Amino acid sequence: MSAIFVTGTGTDIGKTFVACGLIGELRRRGRAVAAFKPLASGFDPACPEAGDPGALLAALGEPVSLTTLDRIAPWRYEAALAPNMAAEAEGKRVDFDAVVAFSHQATHAADAVVIEGVGGAMSPVAARHTVLDWIVALNLPALLVTGTYLGAQSHALTAFAALRGRGITVAALVANETPDSAVGLDETVRSLARFASPVPVVSLPRLAPGAPHAAFAALADLFCCDAAHVR
């Protein structure tokens, strides 16, 4: 089995972009891939292709339909808020145990499985549970996506410490280049690598969507049977 949970230092940091790039690379290698975004907020039913589930389906080469959306992203909320708040805005409540049960099933869906979380590593997903609790419940290795803006290193290392403090294996950090940042991508990677070692720090520049890149190849390598970090 090979499954990974994509988390990040916060919202809009590049989790979906990284997940899609990784899916593309795994598919180019002929792997059977499945991807999930169990909790999707900020979802516009009038434009489902535009949201995260739509992007993941496109990367998987699958159509966007009610059936495929229900299969990969069963909990969809319209408000662009943390899922518990977005659910509340619709008079609903996130059932954390149901999300964990669904995600656990999802890890068996293919020989390579990518699950995208929401927001950052400690974003609340339900009244009393955060993304950290979700990853712990699944016992999956995590990919931690961070930026290169000024201050990103502290955000990255704080999230890294929080993940490891809960016993979560961090398979890799991805330094995803922040546009127009005063801090360089290479310097950020070098600096983070000194703190994260032996966990690899993968360098991801700005790319056109769908473009292959060595960063995605490095992440796909984590899915090899002998990679210690992905089970």
Ligand X SMILES: Nc1ncnc2c1ncn2[C@@H]1O[C@H](COP(=O)(O)OP(=O)(O)OP(=O)(O)O)[C@@H](O)[C@H]1O
Question: Using CB under 6 A, which of 7, 9, 17, 142 touches ligand X?
Answer: 17
Give dist(CA 52, CA 29) in Å, integer. Answer: 23
- Residues between 87 and 126 that touch ligand X (CB under 6 A): 119
User: Does position 52 bind ligand X by CB under 6 A?
Assistant: yes
Q: Which of residues 213 and 231 has its CB atom nearest to ligand X in the complex?
A: 213
User: Binding ligand X by CB under 6 A: which of 2, 3, 5, 8?
Assistant: 8
Closest to 7 (Cα-Cα) out of 119, 99, 112? 119
Catalytic residue, from 15, 37, 129, 155: name it.
Answer: 37
Cα within 13 Å of Cα(29), Cβ side = 21
Structure tokens that stand for 63 in this block: 């159509």
Least spacing, CB of residue 168 vs ligand X, in Å: 18
Q: Please identify, using beta-carbon distances, which residue of 25 and 52 lies nearer to ligand X.
A: 52
- Reported as type and span, the H/E element at residue 170 is strand 170-176
Under the binding rule (CB under 6 A), the answer on residue 16 touching ligand X is: yes
Identify residues 157-216 at the interface with ligand X (CB under 6 A).
Answer: 176-177, 204, 206-207, 209
Q: Is 37 a known active-site residue?
A: yes
Q: Is the dihedral of CA 144, 174, 141, 2 positive or negative?
A: positive
Tokens describing residue 8 = 């990040």
d(C-alpha 26, C-alpha 20), whole Å: 10
Residues that bind Mg ion (CB under 5 A): 15-16, 52
Provide the minimum distance between the beta carbon of 149 and ligand X in the complex, in angstroms, as a whole number. Answer: 12
The CA-to-CA distance between both ends of the chain, in Å, stands at 6
How many residues can be counted in the chain? Answer: 231
Catalytic residues: 37
Footprint on this chain of ligand X (rule: CB under 6 A): 8, 11-17, 52, 119, 176-177, 204, 206-207, 209
